[in-house]
Structure 1
Amino acid sequence: MSLRLGTFNIENLMTRFDFSGWRNQLRQDRVLRLYDVQDKVVYQQLEQARLIAETDDTRQLSALAIAEADADILCLQEVDNMPALQAFEYGYLYRMVGNGYRQKYLVEGNDSRGIDVAVLMREETRTGEKIEVVDVRSHAMLTYHDLGLFNDELALTNDPYDKIFKRDCLELELKIGGKPFSLYVVHFKSMGNARDGTDGRTGTMAIRTAEARAVRHIIERQFGKGRTADKNFAICGDMNDYQEKVQVIGTRRLGYRFEPVREEASALDVFSHDGFAENPVERRDVMDRWTLYHARGPEEQHLCQLDYIWLSPTLARRSAERIPEIIRGGQPYRTVFPPGQEVERFPRIGWDRPKASDHCPVVMELDLE
């Protein structure tokens, strides 16, 4: 019996317009900066028209990426709300896939922009096994104090009663063909907001580390500490951290070279250091594990994995011959691919936009017993 599990940061699947760029130029779209707009109402009308025109292409490309992943269960990040998810699934995804994801789950979390994690599920796997939902739990209200996670490093930016998850850890207790399967969907703290001369990743790592520890605590509380190895669970989502990256050196005109670099520390070490969970994407070549291209000019470019399907030891062992897929056809043409990894982009992909997302979907076939 097999299950096809995927995760995808769909990037701002929103039902709202953001007019904050009228007062804050840092939040203003670059195309509107080309025009001298002096009237707020005119600005709002232009922003609405711009976003509506851009969104149709974007969501067609997002749907194509999801259709190519062809997951039985798909974990999503950056979803505004349930109406947004329903409108996207019916208006775009259903047209691409043909058979819809009728089971949808989303709980409003803690993100200041209102973006949440969500799950789309078919009623049956592709092999005909019934997908049943036993329970759905949100952990958005957990605080550092609740789990005893507060420390001196967190105290620099947080209080003991602050919520641990910057979005949520959405837990779904499932049965796949009658077999128990637990799923944990997350979207960890971003790597922005650098402080005290540190880079954004280092300055926010304590928050992500606490989120990872909290996920592990939730799983160990569910199954018993030291008794998780033989359980069927997966942790999916955009974890906004990496244990390695591929440094991209050079320019488009002069050419590139690519150098893999292992990081000394990562919030994700919480999962991997003692074998609590396995990142099966590491079964791919070290140059071919990336799900996101990051660039701030030619001096700062790298490819890295931010999107994960962490497997329990027993799931990893049963699926030892399976290699996760990374869907890159929705990437914009500005993304630098190492030699031999080029793919055929989806129709209408642009230099920077439109695109399916800044992230790539990850999908894997799991063998369940």
Structure 2
Amino acid sequence: MSLRLATFNIENLMARFDFTGFRNQLKQDRVLQLFNVPTEAVYQQLEQARVVAATDDTRQMTALAVADADADIICLQEVDNLAALHAFEYGYLFRMMGNGYRQKYLVEGNDSRGIDVAVMMREQTRDGQNIELKEITSHAMVTYGDFGLFTDELAALGYHPHDKIFKRDCLELDLRIGGVPFTLYVVHLKSMGGPREGVDGRHVTMPLRRAETLAVRRIIEDRFGRGKTATKNFAICGDMNDYQERVDVIGSRRSGYRFEYHKEQTSALDVFSEDGFAENVLRRRDEMERWTLYHARGPQEQWLCQLDYIWLSPAMAARNAKAVPEIIRAGQPYRTVFPPGQEVERYPRTGWDRPKASDHCPVVITLDLI
């Protein structure tokens, strides 16, 4: 009995317009920054036209990436609401896959932009096993104080014990796949942000992500019992906004590129990996091939890293010891620098930076549950 499981940051699947860029230039699209927009009313008209004009190509590519993953269950990040997800599935995915994902789940979380984690599931796996949801639980309301996770580092960042731990949510789904129990945890951890006072954004915000990973682990241990999780069927999926390794991209289009593997000394994700609590299955691929996102702020700061994860419980990892995940990269824009031998054919109409399927790559793996 097999299950094809995927995760994908779908990048701003929105059902509304964001007009905050008129007053906050940091949130203004770079196209509109080229023009002198005299009033907020004119800005809103231009922003609506820009978004509508760009969205169709983008979502066709997003749908192609989802179709290529061909998962029975796909965990999504950056979804506005269920209405947006239904519209995307009906208007785009249906044309490629037919009635694929009739089960869709989303609970409003804590993100200030309103982007949430969501799950789409088929009614049956490709093997014909029923996929049943027994219970869904949001942990968005859990606070640092509730789990005893408040630290001096968090206080220094301006947080308080009564603040919520998850910047979006940890969505817990209790499933039965052909009658076999399987628990899924879907997360989208705190973003890294920009540098502050000479410290890079990743290290500044790491205490927040570490609290989130500790909370996820606490939720799982409370569910199954501390010391008993290794024998259970569970997976943690999502955009972790952190990495334990990266591939530095050195050079430019004119001079050419070279690639250097670099292991990080510390990561919020060490909470999952350091004692074998869960396995990052992408580590089964070569160290130069594990990346799911290309980060660049000019030629002096560019690297490939893994932000998108499927973590398996020890029992599931052992049962699927030979399973190697796939990374769908055909939706990446042309500005993404691929190491030698990894180049792929992009989807039609892909641009230099946009349109694209997403800035992230879907990750998918086929698993045996028993």
Q: How far, CA to CA, are the matches of 2:317 and 2:2 in structure 1? A: 13
One-letter amino acid of the structure 2 residue matched with residue 331 of structure 1? Q
Measure the CA separation in 2 of the matches of 1:33 and 1:210. Answer: 37
Which deviates more from structure 2 when the two are superposed, residues 93-102 or residues 341-350?
93-102
Matches within 5 A, 1:87-98: 87-98=87-98
Residue identity in the other structure for 1:37: V
In structure 2, the residue matched to 1:244 is 245
C-alpha separation in 1, matches of 2:30 and 2:155: 37
- Give the aligned partner of residue 103 of structure 2: 103
CA distance in 1, matches of 2:295, 2:165: 26
Q: What's the secondary structure of 1:184's corresponding residue?
A: strand
* Contact persistence 1:133–1:175 (CA under 8 A): yes
Q: Distance in 1 between matches of 2:248 and 2:21?
A: 33
Give ranges in structure 2 of 5+ residues lacking alignment: none
In structure 2, the partner of 1:330 is 331
Q: Which moved more, 1:118-127 or 1:91-100?
A: 91-100
Which residue pairs with 2:128 in the alignment?
Answer: 128
**Residue matched to 1:349:** 350
**Residue in 2 aligned with 1:191?**
192
Compute the TM-score of the two structures, normalised by the length of structure 1.
0.99
CA distance in 1 between counterparts of 2:344 and 2:319 reads: 30
Note the 1:209-288 alignment, pairs <5 A.
209-288=210-289
Percent identical among aligned pairs is 74
**SS of structure 2 residue aligned to 1:77:** strand
Gaps of 5+ in 1: none
Corresponding position of 1:307? 308
Q: Which residue of structure 2 lines up, in the alignment, with residue 112 of structure 1?
A: 112
SS in 1 for 2:66: helix
Secondary structure, in 3 states, of the residue corresponding to 2:230?
coil
User: Displacement of 1:21 after TM fit?
Assistant: 1.4
Give the CA deviation at 1:140: 0.1
Aligned-pair CA distance for 1:195:
2.7
Q: Which residue number corresponds to residue 31 of structure 1?
A: 31
Q: Distance in 1 between matches of 2:219 and 2:335?
A: 39
1:30-69 equivalences in 2 (<5 Å): 30-69=30-69
Secondary structure of the equivalent of 1:351? coil
Q: Which amino acid aligns with 1:159?
A: H
| Contact 1:135 1:174 (8 Å CA) reproduced | yes
Aligned residues: 369
- TM-aligned CA deviation for residue 193 of structure 1: 4.5
For 1:41 and 1:162, how far apart are their aligned partners in 2? 36
Q: Partner of 1:286: helix, strand, or coil?
A: coil
Per-residue Cα deviation, 1:72-94 (whole angstroms, up to 9, x for no partner): 00000000011111111111111
Q: Counterpart of 2:167?
A: 166
Distance (Å, rounded) in 2 between the aligned partners of 1:275 and 1:30: 44
Partner letter of residue 255 of structure 1? G
In structure 2, C-alpha distance between the alignment counterparts of 1:94 and 1:110, rounded to whole Å: 30
Consecutive aligned runs of 4 or more in structure 1 exceeding 4 Å deviation: none
Q: CA RMSD in A?
A: 0.8
